[in-house]
Amino acid sequence: MSIDLLFKIAAIGILVAVLYQVLVRAGREDQAMMTTLAGLVIVLTMVIKEISNLFDTVRTLFNL
């Protein structure tokens, strides 16, 4: 839970953007869409893990 998580997600985002352009130029639009979705799912799981972490902390803190 530190700043390198931000850099990890930025790196994945840039990688997916570059891969998308390369694949589109190579004429494989469907695989480009697949890589975009895969990148999205990976980042989504990381973010959801952090959100659930936040909710647990707040629940124990405010004894909701």
- The residue count for binding another protein (CB under 8 A) is 30
Nearer residue to another protein within complex by CB, 17 or 34: 17
Q: Is 24 in the site for another protein (CB under 8 A)?
A: no
CA distances from 7 to 12, 33, 43, 47 (A): 9, 23, 12, 13
- How many angstroms separate the CA atoms of 14 and 56, rounded? 31
- How many angstroms separate the CA atoms of 1 and 4, rounded? 8
For residue 54 the two structure tokens come to 């936040």
Interface residue with another protein, options 22, 31, 47, 56 (CB under 8 A): 47
Residues found near another protein in the complex (CB under 8 A): 1-3, 5-7, 9-10, 12-14, 16-17, 36, 40, 43-44, 47, 50-51, 53-55, 57-59, 61-64
